[in-house]
Amino acid sequence: MNPPWFRLLHVVSVGLVATLTVSGCVDSSSSSPAPVATLTRASATTPISYQVAKYDPIHFKPAIEQATDQQCLACHAEVLKPAMRKASPAGVEAASARAWYQQISTYQGEQETFHRRHLETAYAKQVMNLRCTTCHQGNDPRDRAPGSSATAQSDLTLRKTVTPETTCLKCHAQMNWPVMGLPGPWPQQSKDLFQNNCLACHIAIRTTRHQVTYLNAKTIEELAAKPNGGDVCYGCHGGRAWYRTHYPYPRHAWPDMPTEIPDWAKDRPTQSEARFLAAAAARQGEKK
Ligand code: HEC
Ligand code: HEC
Ligand code: HEC
Ligand code: HEC
Ligand code: HEC
């Protein structure tokens, strides 16, 4: 029925699909492509296919809540490998480029990938203790729009695989200087006045802070007590703000806290997000 050229085309395209399926899961940086069968489930040794791995239950709730970094890295080792270009395609040397969000004194070393900047660099390890699941809480790989069908995941942020307003915004929001009684934005009107020292006030105000599993509270305070320590605090509280909004931080009671709650703080929680409390981590039975 079909002319011979059609049958040939059909065979070719089936072959092409098969090749794509195989090459899809291969680390493109390795010279000798590993076959599909080398993908193994972190918990078992049975080889599994790319499609099965993509929908591995570990990607979704509830399994993702218990997942360790090692389990994720069994398949995603590449996210922590150094992978920076020496120069941009247009020829700008990485070593000489510094973006607006890389100006704070705590930013050190060569350009790094996003994942390495948060998980692997020396400064990241000093002040933070992020895990894969701090940011990744499971998303539908088929559909990144919430509520598009009766069965679609409803708690997604459109086109995102993480929820920025409960992750990134915590450390990349604007500094809420008006509630602090400061004369103006930190870099222009407050930094010099307070000798780049947030502890001038915060030695006694909102002192119950950073008691969450993904921050190293003690080290943060130690670094911030050094000269120009304001850069440490400001880094996460305005210095590399991706958003025009504030993060509504929980307002923990602190010693000598005034009893009257200011209007702006009336809707604030008084506890950190439950999943980041030390007790929750103890239940999970492991840290990074
Ligand atoms: C058994 C192997 C395996 C394990 C274990 C695994 N993944 Fe994946 N993951 C995959 C495959 C395969 C894909 C599909 C990759 C693609 O389409 O580019 C994928 C895709 C993803 C994506 C992209 C999803 C999207 O919508 O584009 C993210 C994010 C991700 N994984 C995170 C994780 C995290 C976090 C963990 C640990 C909780 C984890 N993965 C554990 C194999 C695995
Ligand atoms: C600071 C938050 C954060 C942490 C921690 C984090 N990720 Fe991601 N990850 C992201 C964001 C943001 C993206 C890009 C999402 C998008 O494109 O929508 C991403 C993308 C990915 C992807 C998709 C492929 C890619 O490289 O773009 C994989 C796979 C992934 N992450 C795995 C991991 C694993 C494994 C860990 C732990 C070792 C981890 N992530 C830790 C925020 C994070
Ligand atoms: C717990 C705090 C924290 C969270 C949550 C967080 N970041 Fe960061 N981010 C940092 C710190 C600290 C640095 C700067 C590290 C340094 O200077 O070495 C940084 C740096 C960056 C950079 C600059 C990377 C570079 O190499 O210049 C980008 C981009 C970024 N973050 C985006 C995000 C996004 C997007 C998310 C949410 C998925 C996110 N961050 C979540 C703390 C955080
Ligand atoms: C003049 C004193 C003063 C200085 C200097 C100061 N703060 Fe504050 N800060 C305050 C006060 C007052 C509050 C609000 C206290 C309350 O909850 O009633 C506050 C609140 C905060 C909050 C919580 C905001 C919210 O929306 O809940 C953060 C975060 C913060 N400060 C960070 C910083 C950082 C980072 C610096 C330095 C770059 C800094 N502060 C410098 C007085 C100060
Ligand atoms: C690595 C990023 C990072 C650094 C560095 C950092 N913070 Fe924070 N800060 C956060 C995050 C994330 C939260 C929210 C934690 C939570 O949900 O309880 C927070 C919460 C706060 C709060 C709200 C306290 C409350 O009532 O819960 C204050 C005030 C604050 N930080 C001030 C500071 C000061 C002052 C410094 C320097 C000494 C500083 N921060 C350094 C990330 C950072």
- In eight-state DSSP terms, residue 187 is I
Which CA distances in Å does 4 have to 8, 15, 17, 96?
Answer: 6, 17, 20, 59
Which pTM was predicted?
A: 0.90
The alpha carbon of 90 and the centre of ligand 2 are apart by a number of angstroms equal to: 26
CA–CA separation, 17 and 64 (whole Å) = 31
Ligand 1 contact, 141 CB (< 6 A): yes
Q: Which of 37-51, 148-162, 206-220 has the lowest mean pLDDT?
A: 37-51
Burial class (CB in 10 A: 0-12, 13-18, 19+), 117: middle
CA–CA separation, 215 and 124 (whole Å) = 10
**Which phi and psi (to 5°) does residue 165 adopt?**
-70, -15
pLDDT at residue 14 tops 80: no
Ligand 3 contact, 280 CB (< 6 A): no
pLDDT at residue 37 tops 70: no
The average confidence (pLDDT) of the chain is: 86
Which CA distances in Å does 117 have to 6, 76, 130, 165, 237?
Answer: 51, 16, 11, 20, 17
| Smallest CA separation from ligand 1 atom 12, residue | 54
* Distance spanning both ends of the chain, measured CA to CA: 62
pLDDT at residue 154 tops 70: yes
| Smallest CA separation from ligand 4 atom 5, residue | 198
Ligand 4 contact, 84 CB (< 6 A): no
Ligand 5 contact, 249 CB (< 6 A): yes
The mean pLDDT value for 201-211 works out to 98
pLDDT at 288: 41
pLDDT at 283: 65
pLDDT at 151: 86
pLDDT at 17: 35
CA–CA separation, 251 and 50 (whole Å) = 45
With a CB cutoff of 8 Å and minimum separation 6, the contacts of 149 are 143
Q: Which of 22-36, 91-105, 146-160 has the lowest mean pLDDT?
A: 22-36
The mean pLDDT value for 54-67 works out to 95
What are the extents of the domains in the chain?
A: 171-284
Ligand 2 contact, 160 CB (< 6 A): yes
